[in-house]
Amino acid sequence: MGYMFGNLPGIKLCQHRAVAWHLFGMGNEVDIHSAFFHGNTLLDRGHRTDVLSLFPATFATAEMVPKATGKWLLTCQVNDHLQAGMQAFYEVKSCGSEAVSAMGGVERNYYLAANKVLWSYGPLGRDLINNVSLTEAGSASEVFFGTDGGRIGGEYLKVIYEEYTDDTFTTLKPTPESLHLGILGPVLRAEEGDTLRVTFMNKADRNFSIQPHGLHYDKHFQGTSYEDGVDKPGSHVAPGQNFTYTWQVIEGPSPSDSACIPYLYYSATDPIRDTSSGLVGPLLVCKKGTLGENGTQKGVDKEFFLLFSVMDEKLSWYIDENIEKFGSNETNVEDEDFKESNLMHAVNGRMYGNLQGLQMCAGDKVVWYTFGLGTEADIHGVYFEGNTFKKQSTTRDTLNLFPHTTATAIMQPNTPGVHEVSCRVTDHFSAGMRQQYRVDLCPRHKLELTYKGGPTKIVQYFISADEIVWDFSPNRDWEMEIHHGTLEDSPGNMFVERGGNKIGSRYKKVVYREYTDESFTVEKKRQPEQQHLGIMGPIIKAEVGEQIVITFKNNASRPYSISAHGVKASSAHIPVKPGNILELTWDVPNSSGPGVSDPNCISYAYYSNVDFIKDLYSGLLGPLVICRPGTLQRGEGPDRQRDDVEKEFALLFMVHDENQSWYLDENIKTYLGADPDTLTRDEDFQESNKMHVE
């Protein structure tokens, strides 16, 4: 649009009259946008929201029938973009309309305070995923929890929302099932037609507020401060003062939504520094008749609320106080290691398995409400290991989040045990955005059998991990043609030209390959329609009700495994030593198959997880396709094809970071003839090893 800091002209709407918003995303990797329409909600492909997410080269159209008059902000809630001026106004006028939404709900009262606390990102003192101390020398967690060199460590002064029993703010309200909330404020719940009255007491030491997503309110009760000619006392509640917000739930979940939809509430006096200091909580808006007398959802056994955020403590109001309290005379705020140590990759303010309370019974109806917050680094691919879930009537075991967006996952766990819920963005995974949830066998539920009478079919695959030399760019003719010049002028030269300190396009890798039988002597030749798979392993296919049997041989020089999303797997976490063979079974229950809104087949991935990050960047990844019964009609065994489509393609979009491959040192020796210990690994060298492929 070409305007910044509220200078966009001409966005004028009429109250109660339909408006279409067409949004466009363009740019590069920082152009991840969360467009927040303050004051009103929209329908995005039939789903209620007030935030639209945009990537480069993505386009969105949403419908709004504005209910609240006034001048409202339209902002990108990605922290860097908000601070840099990605803000505009839209104005809603009455235009003579007198339509009034019938409320007819109940009034729900909450008493919240902002309290200053000492917060620990790792209160148990250990990385419970890897069973080591958080300050173990050389560990990934030591970067964030160590205190030498002037680093702060894992404890910080923060400010959080806490709930009280009444407006005297003397007694904290005991809230069952709240252990897992961590740093989050209490869950605010309401149904369509209700009024929320939230009395806020600021017990902290600077101005704060409460600003909700998804609700309607008069300007007087808005928690965001900006110049629109209207006084907003709720946008800056002073220390020691209180303010009562009145918010209406005019628009609840749409017919296409689940019974309740999640939003965030947060302090917006300074939305970046306030949330970085800890002031954020979950808000649940439900259809009429959904909530029971105790305020929880009817027909739901467990609800969990998870905030995935890289919490940048450098942006907290209390960074100076934290340095004074926990730093030393070695503390240097400009030091890159110090800056990195303050980026706390957390789920509900906990890291490395330190979030407690994620417990449920097999067979429970469990609803996970997930939230994103932060900056452009806060792109999260959340993986629920061990169980699938339903999201908008599709079957998944992963979901994605961006700042100020939410996602709902409805799960009926059927795999007992301790499983991981984590962000699979590799940097975030390594930096501690990993937690565990536990599924117990409980008397009140009879665990559903995976198969009644055994699997309908057993499909056998013979797969090995083979070390090969892979050429990312075997032919540069197309590259030269598209850039109309010499290869030296091509942007691709940085990555595929060999010479100097650049390895070039050829690297030793390890890949999954299919063999004809358990002797692993004859590799199965890829047919013309399979050539596009490239570096990936074979497409493993099965229908719901079947069992996949994988005979896995490790032909490589270090331990690897084969582990799949979406299915019930045996032996998935067992590392297979070089030269050894392991048989695994992957069961395909109904919960693994396509949902009502899915196509006939859905895709998952399989990969090695001995060291998820290094194994992945070394090349071990393949596609897994699960279909409805009766879909794979052409061919036999592992060669079966779908009869409802003519062709299938599996495409992987990924920046292969060869700097994190197990074989980097070997590639340096082979292609540069250099000593890996003495080679200067500068920024150009590292950039040249990031292969942008599909």
Q: pLDDT tens across 484-528, in order?
A: 666 565 555 556 666 678 888 899 999 999 999 999 999 999 999
Question: 573's torsion region: left (phi>0), alpha (psi -120 to 50) or beta?
Answer: alpha
pLDDT (0 to 100) of residue 111: 98
Query: Residue 480 pLDDT > 70, yes or no?
Result: no
Q: Which residue has the tokens 């910080």?
A: 156
Q: What is the DSSP letter of 639?
A: G
pLDDT (0 to 100) of residue 29: 85
Span of 91-100, 256-265, 595-604 with lowest mean pLDDT:
91-100
Query: Residue 272 pLDDT > 60, yes or no?
Result: yes
Nearest to 41 by CA among 63, 56, 26: 63
- Over residues 3-32, the pLDDT tens digits come to 888 898 989 999 999 999 999 999 988 888
Give the helix/strand (H/E) hosting 274.
helix 271-277
Backbone angles phi, psi at 616, to 5 degrees: -65, -50
Exposed, middle or buried, 272 (CB in 10 Å: 0-12/13-18/19+)? middle
Percentage of the chain surpassing pLDDT 70?
Answer: 95
When pLDDT is averaged across residues 324-349 and rounded to a whole number, the result is 96
Q: Model confidence at 483, in pLDDT bands (50, 70, 90)? A: low
What SS3 state is found at 242?
strand
- Would you list the DSSP string of 296-344? SBTT-SEEEEEEEEEEEGGGSTTHHHHHHHH--TT--TT-HHHHHHTEE
Q: What angle do CA 23, 212, 10 make, to 5 degrees?
A: 35
When pLDDT is averaged across residues 642-655 and rounded to a whole number, the result is 94
Q: Which domains does the chain have, with CATH numbers?
A: 12-93 (2.60.40.420), 109-440 (2.60.40.420), 458-672 (2.60.40.420)
- Over residues 234-246, the pLDDT tens digits come to 899 999 999 999 9
Span of 93-97, 182-186, 187-191, 364-368 with lowest mean pLDDT:
93-97
CB 64 within 8 A of CB 36: no
Q: Round to whole Å and give the CA distance between 455 and 508.
A: 39
Strands 506-515 and 540-543: unpaired
Which strands make up the sheet holding 211-212, listed edge to edge? 188-191, 280-286, 260-266, 211-212
Q: Model confidence at 572, in pLDDT bands (50, 70, 90)? A: confident
CB 275 within 8 A of CB 373: yes
DSSP strand E in 385-457: where? 389-391, 394-396, 398-401, 406-411, 417-423, 434-440
pLDDT (0 to 100) of residue 78: 87
CB 407 within 8 A of CB 391: yes
- Over residues 534-565, the pLDDT tens digits come to 999 999 999 999 999 999 999 999 999 999 99
CB 499 within 8 A of CB 434: no
When pLDDT is averaged across residues 576-602 and rounded to a whole number, the result is 96
Please list, residue by residue across 644-653, b when 16 or more beta carbons sit within 10 angstroms of its beta carbon and e when fewer do: eeeebebeee
Q: Model confidence at 582, in pLDDT bands (50, 70, 90)? A: very high
Q: Does 612 or 96 have the greater pLDDT score?
A: 612
pLDDT (0 to 100) of residue 487: 56
Percentage of the chain surpassing pLDDT 90?
Answer: 80
Give the helix/strand (H/E) hosting 618.
helix 612-618
Backbone angles phi, psi at 345, to 5 degrees: -80, 95
pLDDT (0 to 100) of residue 691: 80
Q: What is the mean pLDDT of the chain?
A: 93
When pLDDT is averaged across residues 289-316 and rounded to a whole number, the result is 95
Nearest to 323 by CA among 311, 334, 310: 334
CA dist 670 → 360, 496, 503, 507 (Å) = 52, 15, 9, 9
Backbone angles phi, psi at 82, to 5 degrees: -60, -45
Most confidently modeled range among 81-85, 162-166, 449-453: 162-166
Q: Does 423 participate in catalysis according to the annotation?
A: yes
When pLDDT is averaged across residues 140-160 and rounded to a whole number, the result is 97
- Over residues 378-401, the pLDDT tens digits come to 999 999 999 999 999 999 999 999
| Dihedral angle sign, alpha carbons of residues 61, 64, 69, 75 | negative
Catalytic residue among 260, 286, 361, 423: 423
